[in-house]
Amino acid sequence: MSRFALAALAALGIAGVAMAQGMPKPTTPVDRPNATGGERLYVEHCAMCHGPNGMGTGLLGRRVEPALLEQRDNLNAQYVIMAARRGIGNMPPITRGEVSDADLKLIADYLAAGPHGGKP
């Protein structure tokens, strides 16, 4: 069983697994005080699903390595925009009311410039 699966079991309250391998803390802007531009917007709008304990990371981890989008070296900005606006697989579309075109472009450019190191 993967570390993520064990942690998910623990967080769901399922006995019989090691709580020591707990879920990581969610990543929010407080964890990246120096982040600006696309990185800051990514953490604010995307990290809840694409951070270390997110649904997107969990599902992508079943078929893509690395599962964390920030660690990818093969994301194209247009592809990111298309995936966000239309939705892809289990990911719902992200509306323009929630993330403006200008902000989404900054996020897409940030991901396309990856991989990004440092703290997940």
Partner 1 sequence: MGFRPIESEQMADIPLPPGFTAAKMSQAQKAFEAALGADRVFFEDVDRVGYQDKFAIDDARHHPAGAIAPTALEEVQAAVKIANQFRLPLWPISRGKNLGYGTSAPELAGSVVLDLSRMKKIEFDEANGVVTLEPGVGFYDLYDYLQQHKLPFWLSTPGNSWGSVIGNALDRGVGYTPYGENTKNFCGMEVVLPTGEVVRTGMGAFSNAPTWGLYPFGYGPAWDQMFVQSNFGIVTKANMWLMPEPESLMGMDVEYDRPEDLKAMVDTIGPLRRERLLQQSPSIGNWLRAAAVLTTRKEWTDKPGALDDSVIDAIRRKFNIGWWGVSLRLYGREEVNKAAYRILEKAMTDIKPMLLKPTSWVKGQPMEYSGWTGTPMTFPMQNINWYGGRGGHVGFSPLLPQDGSAALAQFQRTYARYKEFGIDYQGSFAFGERHLINVNAMIFDKDDSAKMAKIDPFFRQLVADAKAQGYGEYRTHLDYMDLVAETYDWGGGALRKLNEKVKNALDPNGILAPGKSGIWPTAYAKERKA
- Give contact residues for partner 1 (rule: CB under 8 A): 1, 5, 8-17, 19, 22-26, 28-30, 44, 47-49, 53-56, 58-59, 62, 82-83, 85-90, 92-98, 100
Smaller CB separation from partner 1, 31 or 109? 31
CB 79, min distance to partner 1, A: 10
CB of 69 to partner 1, least distance (A): 14
CB of 119 to partner 1, least distance (A): 15
- The smaller minimum CB distance to partner 1, of residues 73 and 98, is found at 98
Ramachandran area for residue 89 (φ above 0: left; ψ -120 to 50: alpha; else beta): left
Are 106 and 37 in contact, with CB atoms under 8 Å apart?
Answer: yes
- Least distance CB 92 / partner 1 (angstroms): 4
Vertex 4 angle, CA 60 and 94, to 5°: 40
Torsion region of 23: left, alpha or beta (phi above 0 gives left; psi -120 to 50 gives alpha): beta
CA–CA separation, 100 vs 1, rounded Å?
Answer: 39
